[in-house]
Homo-oligomer: A and B are copies of this chain.
Amino acid sequence: MFELDYKNRGPIYEQVCDKIKELIAMGELKTGEQLPAVRGLAKEIGINHNTIQKAFGILEREGVIYTVIGKGSFVSEHSANAKIFKENALSEIKQTIEKNIIYKVTHDDIIKLSNSIFNKGVCEND
């Protein structure tokens, strides 16, 4: 399903949350689709089932997935997910920009940065 990156980041359960969200955002997990079993997934990626449990619990509280007792966990309505995801994304970007205004980051810097990220030619010269 996915692999963990042990070098970089924070808690494993957070990484699991992020990966699941990515899979949903990319359409590889669709509305209503059943997620892999907690213990099965744990075995597959080589971590303890409690860690997966924690990740799924967070995703459930966030409304990204829902659980049917005794049956399994399922992906919530995709349009709702897409909305939550995008809102969180924009909010995170906003915070990051605002936090850095003090270091002389300008509107123009952001435009240029965004242009370079999204490969927009700046008319002729770039």
B82 x A109 contact (CB < 8 A): no
Q: Judge whether A98 is part of the interface by a CB distance below 8 angstroms.
A: yes
Our pick among B6, B94, B115, B117 for the contact of A117 (Cβ within 8 Å) is: B94
| A66 is an interface residue with CB less than 8 A from chain B | yes
Chain A interface size band reads 35 or more
Q: Which residues of B contact A110 (CB under 8 A)?
A: 93, 110, 114
Contact B114–A107 (Cβ < 8 Å):
yes
Most chain B CB neighbours (cut-off 10 Å) among A12, A107, A114: A114
* A interface residue numbers (CB < 8 A to B): 6-8, 10-12, 21-22, 25-26, 61, 66, 68-71, 74, 76, 82, 85-86, 88-90, 92-94, 96-98, 100-107, 109-111, 113-115, 117-118, 120
Can you identify 11 A-B contacts, CB atoms within 8 angstroms? A6-B71, A7-B66, A12-B68, A82-B104, A85-B103, A85-B104, A86-B103, A88-B103, A93-B96, A93-B100, A97-B117
